[in-house]
Amino acid sequence: MTRLTHLQRLEAESIQIFREAVAESERPVMLYSVGKDSSVMLHVAMKAFYPSKPPFPLLHVDTTWKFRAMYEFRDKLVEELGVELLVHQNPDCVERGINPFDHGSATHTDLWKTEGLKQALNLHAFDLAFGGARRDEEKSRAKERVFSIRTAQHRWDPKQQRPELWRLYNARKHPGESVRVFPLSNWTELDVWQYINLEKIPIVPLYYAAPRPVVERDGTLIMVDDDRMRLDPGEEPKIRSVRFRTLGCYPLTGAVESTATTLTAIIQEMLLTTTSERQGRVIDHDSSGSMEKKKQEGYF
C-alpha cells in the first residue's frame, strides 16, 4: 500500500477522534439517532475499539414519534452488535402527551429532543457525547469544532470554543461542563453514502423506495405510519413509491418520490437530484435561522 483513499483517510481520522475522546473523558456516550449518519458513526466506533466493544453506551433520545421501522432496526442492530443502548423519553412529554399535531413541530422537537437530551445527559452525568453532525450540512456548521465545549447548562458558548491544530484536541473542562465530539465533521453527504456502500453498513429500510401510504401537505409528502396520524377532513392516504433522505419523527419528515430500491440507485438519485439534504426536515423550515439557534440551545 502506498497511499490512502479519501475514505480511508476520513475513517482513520474519525477513529483517531473516537480514541482521543474516550481517553480524555470520564463518562462518554454516543448519541444514536438511528439515521444513516448514526449508522456510519457506530460502524466507525466498532472499528476504533476492536477487538474491544466501544467503551460507552449508545443513547437514543426518543420522542415516541419515530417511524416504526426505526425502532425495529435499532433494537435488532443493538442486539447483533452486542452494544449497550439507553433510551430516554422525556417523562414530562410522556405525561403531557406532547405531539407535533397539538403542540407544533418547534415545541415538540424542543421538549422531546432538546430538553430530553439535557435530561438524559444530566441523569447519567455523561461528560462527553459523540454526535454525527457534519460540517457540510449547513453554512453555519462549517466553523464548528470537532470538540465543542458546552456549559453546565449544555449551552454552546462561542467564546469558549478552542482552536484545533493538527490532530491535537483539548478536551479539558470544568466540573459540570461537557464536550460534544463530532467524529464525522469532515465527511460529506456523498462520503457517507459511499462509505455505507463500500462497507455494506445496514441502514433503516425507509431510505429505500417502497410503496407507502402518504398524504401531501404544503408540498411535503408525509407518511401515515400509524393511526396516531391526524388526517384532515377528506384527506385520504395514497400509496406512492417514496423514500426518505433523512429520518426523524414521521409526521415531521418529508418523503421524496423515488423508485430507488438499491443503495447504488439511491446514490445515483442523490447525485443527480439537486435538492439539499436538510430540506426533507420540516423542523428546519419552522423558525428561521434555526440551526444556529438550536445549537446554542443544546440541540445538535
Partner 1 sequence: MSHVSNDLLADDIEAYLALHENKSMLRFITCGSVDDGKSTLIGRLLYDSKLVFEDHLAALESDSKKFGTQAGDLDFALLVDGLAAEREQGITIDVAYRFFSTEHRKFIVADTPGHEQYTRNMVTGASTADLAVILIDARKGVLTQTRRHSYIVSLLGIRHVVVAVNKLDLVDYSKEVFDTIEAEYRGFAADIGLSDVVCIPISALRGDNITGASPQTPWYAGPTLIGHLETIEIADDLHVGPLRLPVQWVNRPNLDFRGFSGQIVRGSVRPGDRVRIVPSGLESTVERIVTDDGDLEEAIAGQSITLTLSDEVDVSRGDVIAAAGDPPRVADQFECHLVWMSEAPMLPGRPYLLKLGTRTVGATVGHPKYKVNVNTLEHTATRTLELNEIGVCNLTLDRQVPFDPYVENRDMGGFILIDRFTNQTVGAGLLHFALRRADNVHWQAVEVDKDARARLNSQRPAVVWFTGLSGAGKSTIANLVERTLHQLGFHTYLLDGDNVRHGLNKDLGFTDADRVENIRRVAEVARILVDAGVIVLASFISPFRAERELARRLIGEGQFFEVHVDVPLEVAEARDRKGLYAKARRGELVHFTGIDSPYEPPASPEIRLDASGTVPAVESAGLVVEYLRQCGVLAPPQEPEAATDPS
Contacting residues toward partner 1, per CB under 8 A: 1-13, 15-16, 19-20, 22-23, 46-53, 135-136, 139-140, 142-143, 158-168, 170, 172-174, 185-186, 188, 190-191, 194, 197-198, 264-265, 267-268, 271-276, 279, 289, 292
Nearest to 45 by CA among 124, 132, 134: 132
CA torsion angle 296 88 176 291 (round to 10): -10
Q: How far is it, in rounded angstroms, from Cα 252 to Cα 106? A: 10
At what angle are helices 263-272 and 189-199 packed, to 10 degrees?
160
Judged on CB neighbours under 10 Å (0-12, 13-18, 19+), 248 is buried
| Residue closest to 250 by CA, chosen among 294, 283, 276, 219 | 283
- Rounded Cα distance between 139 and 164, Å, is 19
Q: Residue 87: CB partners within 8 Å, gap ≥ 6?
A: 59, 60, 62
Residue 52 exposed, middle or buried by CB count within 10 Å (0-12, 13-18, 19+): exposed
**Is the Cβ of residue 23 or residue 231 nearer to partner 1 in the bound state?**
23
Q: Is 73 helix (H, G, I), strand (E, B) or coil?
A: helix
Q: Which is nearer to partner 1, 60 or 294 (CB)?
A: 294
Closest CA to 206 of 258, 247, 262, 263: 247
SS3 243: strand
What is the nearest approach in angstroms of partner 1 to the Cβ of residue 235?
27
Cβ neighbour number for residue 147 with a 10 Å cutoff:
22
Q: How far is the CB of 245 from partner 1 (least distance, A)?
A: 12
Helix extents (H) in the chain: 6-23, 36-49, 68-81, 91-96, 100-109, 116-124, 189-199, 263-272, 282-286, 290-297
Residue type, 163: P
Least Å from the CB of residue 11 to partner 1: 8
